[in-house]
Structure 1
C-alpha cells in the first residue's frame, strides 16, 4: 500500500486518455532524471581517462584507489539509499546525493595531495547509487502507460554518453589535465542538482514506518563492498592469495549473516519476501548479468584499441584515444538508435521476447568480435552487431523490473538491479583480466596482452550473455504498470 505523499490530490487523481501522451513537462522530467543517471557512465569514462594524469601528478603507485574508492563507497551506500528513498521520498534523497557528489568532485579537483583526492572521491561516491532511485522515480512520476517507454529511453540514453564522452574526456584531459575532468564532473553534477530541484516532483513514500535497520544495511553494504574489493584486487594480488580469499570469505559471511539479521529486524532494509519471488529473482539475475556485459565489454574494448602493436609481445591495435573515439562512433550510434527505437515500441510488444532476442544478438556479436577484431573494419562490424543487442538490453532491463514488482516495490527492484549489475560487472572485469593475464607477455614490469587473451575476453562476455538468456527463458509473463491499484 502506498502512503500519502505531500500532494495526495495529485497522487490519487483519476487518469484520462491524456495520460498516455508525452507533454513538454514529462519530457523535461525525463531529461532531469536521465542527465544524472547517465552522468555516472560519463564519470566512469572521464575518471578512467584522468587516472594516468593523477598517478603522474602525485607520483603514486596506488592510483587504483582513484576509481576504486568511489566504487566501494557507492556499493556500501546502495542499501541505505533504497530504504531512505522509500522512507522520505526519492527527490529529497537524490538532491542530497547530487549535492554531495558535486562537493566531492570539487574537493578532489582542488586537492593538493593524493589522500585528499581520495577523500573527495569518497564523498563523490555518495552520488554513485543514483540509478537505484532514478528508475524507481519514473514509476512514481510518469503515467502508467508511459512508464515502459520512459524507462527504456532513460536506459538507452547511455549510448549518447558512449558516443560523446570519449571526445570530451580527451579534450578536457589534454587541455587541463586530470583536474579538467574533475571540474567538469563537479559542474555537471551541480547541473543535475538544479534539474532535479526545478523539474522533478516529490515522489510518494512507500514505507509507512519510520524505523531503519542500520545493522542490516551495514552488514549488506559491507558484505557487497568486501566482495567487490576482493574481485577488484584479485588480479594484482593473485586469486589464491590469502588477502583475496580473506576479503571474499569475509564478504560472503557478511551476506549470509544479513539473511539472519533481516529475519529478526522489525524494519528490514530490504524486503526479502519480494526478492524470494521467482519472477523477481529471475528478472534481477538476468538483468544484472545482461547489463553487466552491455556496460563492461564496451569499456574493455578500449584495452584492445589502445595497447600497442608489438609483434610477439603485444597484439593491441595501437590506436590513439582520438582514433578509438572516431571508430567507436559506429557502434555507439547503433546502440543509441536501437535503444531509442526499442523504447518507443516497448508498450506494444512482449518485453520478454525483445529482451531475449537482444541477449542472443549481443552474445552472437561478442562471439564474432572474439574472432574478428584485427582492424577498424572488422572491429566496427562485429561491435555494431554486439551493440545492436546491447541497445535492446540497456533499454529492456528496467522495463523487465517494472513488470515483476508493484509500484511500492519499484525502489527495491531498481536498487537490487543496480547492485547486481555492479557486482556482476566487477566479476566480469576480473574474469576478463584473468584471461588476458593468462595470454600475456611481461616486458620491463608491464603486462602486454596477446591476441588469444583478447579473443577469450570477448568470448567471456558472450558466455555471460548466454547465461542471462538461460535465466530469462524462465521469466513468467509480466504485469503491466496500468494494473497498479494506485497511479500517480
Structure 2
C-alpha cells in the first residue's frame, strides 16, 4: 500500500544519462558492487587464510556473511519499503563496515568469522539498490541502469583480480581484508553524498518480527545443515533435525503470512505464477554462477603438491591476467542484454545465458589444466553469466509493480542467496571428498575440481529448464516504472 501523501512533481523522461544520473548510478553501483568485490577478495584470499589459520572449515570464511545476509534480508527489504531505500542502504553499509573492521583486525579464525558474519549484513543492500534504481530513474534509463548494476560483477572481475593480486601478493590476506574496509567506507560516503531518497513508500506498519525470524532462521538452518552434512553424516539425526526444523519453520511462516494484517512477504505476491517462476529460475541460475568462484579460485591459487594438492599454484596477479578476458565478456554481454531487453523477451535472454553457462562449465569439468583451457571455456561461460545476471533484475521489474519492487528483489535475493550458499557448501563437500588434509589444512585433488564444475553446470542446466515455466513477460519498454526522482 502506497503512502499517497508523497506526490513528487512530474518530470520529463530523460533519454540519456546526465551528470546527475551518472552520480546516482555510481552510488548505486558501489552498493551493488560491494558484494562481488568482497566475494572476489575473500575468494582470492581464502587459500592463504586456510594455510595461515590451519583450518579445514574454510567454507565458512566465504559463507558466514552470506548466512547473516540471508537472515537479515527480509527485515532490510521491509524496512526499505517503509522508511526509505537510501536510509536503509546507508544503515546496512555502516553496519557492514563494523564487521569489516573486526575481520581485518582478527587474531583468530573464530573472530575472523564473526567479522565476516557481521559484514554480511550489507549483502542486502544490493536488493534494495535495484529497487531504488526503478524508483529514481526515468523509464528509458531503468533498463540500462539495472543492467549496468547487474554487470558490476564483470566490472569488478575485470579490474578486481589485478587489485587483489597486488594486495595479496604484497601484503597477504590482511591486505585484502583492509581493502574491504576502505571500499565499504568509500561506498558509504558516496551513498550519503549522491543517492536521493526514493519517493515510493509503503504505509508505515508494524514490522513482522516473527515472520522474519521464521523465514531467516529456516534458510539459515538449511545452509548450516548442508555445510555440516559431510561431518555429521547425511543420514544422521542432527542433519535431519536441521532440515526438518527448517521445513516446519517455513510451513509456520507461510501460515502466519496469510493470517496477519501486514505480512513480511504477501503470499498473494509470491503465489503469482509470474513471480514464483521468475524467482526459481533466476535464483537457481544466478546462485550457481556465483558459486563457481569457489572452484575457480581454489583451482588457480592452491599450490601444486604431488599426491596432496592439484591446484595450479598461480599467484593472484597471474590469475588476474588469465581471467581478465572472461570479465570483459561478462561486462559486454551484460550491457548488451540490458539493451536487447527493451525489444526482446527477457526469458529468451535468461535461457540463452543459462545454456552458454552450462556448456562452458561442462567443458571446464574436463579441461582446466592450463591457462588456455580456462580462457577458452571461460569466454563461453562468461557471456552466459553476463546474460543471466543482467536478466535477473529485468525479469523482476517485468513481474512486479513499482510498489512491489523491493519485495520482489528481496525475495529473489533470498532464493539466490540460499541457492548460492547450499551449492557452495556442496561444492566444498564434493571437492574435499577426494582431497587430503595436511597440517590441519584441506587440499583438493583434480577429481574434486572436476566434480565442483559438474555440480555448477548441472545447477545451471536446472535453472535453464525452469525458464520454460515462466509465462510470457513484458519487455522493458512495456513495464511501469517508479516516479523518476531525478
TM-score relative to the length of structure 2: 0.91
Q: 1:210 maps to which residue?
A: 205
My pick for the range that moved more, 450-459 or 268-277, is 450-459
Instruction: Measure how far apart 1:66 and its partner are.
Output: 4.2
Q: Judging changes above 3 Å, is the alpha-carbon distance between structure 1 residues 185 and 78 closer, same or farther for their aligned structure 2 residues? A: same
Counterpart of 2:3 in structure 1 is: 3
SS of corresponding position for 1:353 = helix
Partner of 2:99: 104
Contact 1:4–1:205 (CA<8 Å) still a contact in 2? no
Aligned with residue 363 of structure 1, among 358, 362, 373: 358
Structure 1 equivalent of residue 124 of structure 2: 129
Residue 284 of structure 1 deviates from its aligned partner by 0.7
Question: Which runs of structure 2 are paired with 1:404-423 in the superposition (5 Å)?
Answer: 404-423=399-418
For residues 433 and 272 of structure 1, the distance between their equivalents in structure 2, rounded to whole angstroms, comes to 34
**Equivalent of 1:77 in 56, 72, 81:** 72
| Structure-2 residue corresponding to 1:484 | 480
Q: CA deviation at 1:228?
A: 1.4
Q: Does 1:145 align with 2:140?
A: yes
User: Would the aligned equivalents of 2:232 and 2:239 in 1 still touch at CA under 8 Å?
Assistant: yes
Q: Which has the higher contact order (CA 8 A, sep 6+)?
A: 2
Which residue of structure 1 lines up, in the alignment, with residue 154 of structure 2?
159
| 1:8-51 deviation line (CA, Å, top 9, x unaligned) | 224xx1x54x4232222112211110112111111122223445
1:108-147: CA deviation from partner (whole Å, max 9, x where unpaired): 3345565554444343232121112011111111112321
| Pairwise CA distance, 1:257 | 1.4
The answer on 1:233 being equivalent to 2:228 is yes
Partner deviation per Cα, 1:365-418 (whole Å, 9 max, x = no partner): 112222222211122101111111111111111111111111111111111111
SS at match of 1:94: helix
Matched, 1:28 2:23: yes
Kindly provide the CA deviation profile for residues 169-222 of structure 1, in whole angstroms up to 9, marking residues without a partner as x.
Answer: 232234344443232222211211122112111113432242211111111111
> Structure 1 residue 363: deviation in Å?
1.1
The answer to whether structure 1 residue 373 and structure 2 residue 368 are counterparts is yes
After superposition, residues 326-345 of structure 1 pair within 5 angstroms as 326-345=321-340
Deviation at 1:62, TM superposition (A): 6.2
Structure 1 residues 458 and 118: CA distance shift in structure 2, 3 A: closer
In the alignment, which residue of structure 2 is the partner of 1:19? 14
Calculate the aligned-residue CA RMSD, in Å: 2.6
**Secondary structure at 2:320 match in 1:** helix
Compared with structure 1, are the counterparts of its residues 369 and 51 closer, same or farther at alpha carbon in structure 2 (3 Å cutoff)?
closer
User: Are residue 172 (structure 1) and residue 164 (structure 2) matched?
Assistant: no
Q: Quick one: distance in 2 between partners of 1:450 and 1:112?
A: 30
In structure 2, distance between residues paired with 1:317 and 1:47 = 18
Cross-structure match for 1:395: 390
Contact 1:29 1:200 survives alignment (8 Å): yes
- 3-state secondary structure, aligned to 1:348: coil
Q: Is the CA contact 2:288–2:420 (under 8 Å) kept in the aligned structure 1?
A: yes
CA displacement at 1:283 relative to structure 2: 0.5
**Distance in 1, Cα, partners of 2:192 & 2:175:** 26
SS of the residue corresponding to residue 270 of structure 1 reads coil
Q: Could you list the per-position Cα deviations for residues 353-374 of structure 1 after superposition, in whole angstroms to 9, with x for gaps in the alignment?
A: 1221111111111122222222
8 Å CA contact retained: 1:5, 1:204: no
Q: SS of 1:347's equivalent?
A: coil
Taking a change above 3 Å as real, the CA distance of residues 299 and 434 of structure 1, as seen in their structure-2 partners, is closer
Structure 1 residue matching 2:264: 3-state secondary structure = coil
Larger CA deviation: 213-222 vs 232-241: 232-241
What 5-or-longer segments of structure 1 have no aligned partner?
A: none
Equivalents in 2 of 1:189, 1:155: separation in Å? 19
Cα deviation 1:275-305 (Å, max 9, x = unaligned): 1111111101100111112221134212222
Paired residues of 1:149 and 1:345 also in contact (CA < 8 A): no
In 2, Cα distance between equivalents of 1:438 and 1:114:
23
Structure 1 contact 148–402 (Cα < 8 Å) conserved: no
Aligned partner of 2:32 in structure 1 is 37
What CA distance in whole angstroms lies between the structure 2 residues aligned with 1:475 and 1:431? Answer: 27
Post-superposition shift, 1:435? 3.2
- CA distance in 2 between partners of 1:485 and 1:306 (Å): 44
CA separation in 1, counterparts of 2:311 and 2:113?
31
Separation (CA, whole Å) in 1 of partners of 2:257 and 2:135: 26
For residues 223-271 of structure 1, what are the alpha-carbon distances to aligned partners after superposition, in whole Å with 9 as ceiling and x for unaligned?
1111111222334444334333332222222112111121222211111
